[in-house]
Amino acid sequence: MKPALALAPVLLAAALATACTSAASPPPVTTPASLALADSPAGLAIRAAVNEINATAGGPVAAQRAVLDRLVAPDQSADQRACPAATTTLAFDPAYRDMRLAAGGTEYLLPAYITIYTDGRITGSDLTTLRMWVTGGVAETAALCVS
């Protein structure tokens, strides 16, 4: 057996052992502060708003647009009205454990995976950070222009 070929089984065994060790690693630890934020009254209001948006994903574009128009923060409503006509709808899969307050402490930033629907079919995906505010127990979004 040539020296390079003699090492092949050893290298393969080492690679498998490393893969097994990596797979057995525990998931990342979520900090108690981020869990507390996600489960706070503000976090629950944000979840309710995201669920309301998601309930319209894959359905009529006008239905989702109506929800987005209703949930937009007042200072963002002009931007929301200026959005071009949509041809798709979106569903968000947020990483609630990674939700955080922006500098200043009034804006919530929520990383999310987006699923894009066209005529009820999944046609794409993307990543975003949703910007939201909670006023009087109700979550409001930044302008969300869906294309």
Summary mean pLDDT of the chain = 84
Q: According to the model, what pLDDT value does residue 55 have?
A: 98
Q: Are strands 89-94 and 138-141 parallel, antiparallel or unpaired?
A: unpaired
Once rounded to an integer, what is the mean pLDDT over residues 85-112?
94
pLDDT in tens, 73-96: 999 999 999 999 999 999 999 999
C-alpha to C-alpha distance for 110 and 22, rounded to whole angstroms: 28
Once rounded to an integer, what is the mean pLDDT over residues 107-120?
96
- Position 102 pLDDT exceeds 50: yes
Single-letter amino acid code for the residue at 62: A
CATH assignment, 30-141: 3.10.450
> How many percent of the chain have pLDDT more than 90?
69
Spans of all domains in the chain:
30-141
pLDDT in tens, 20-41: 444 555 555 455 555 678 889 9
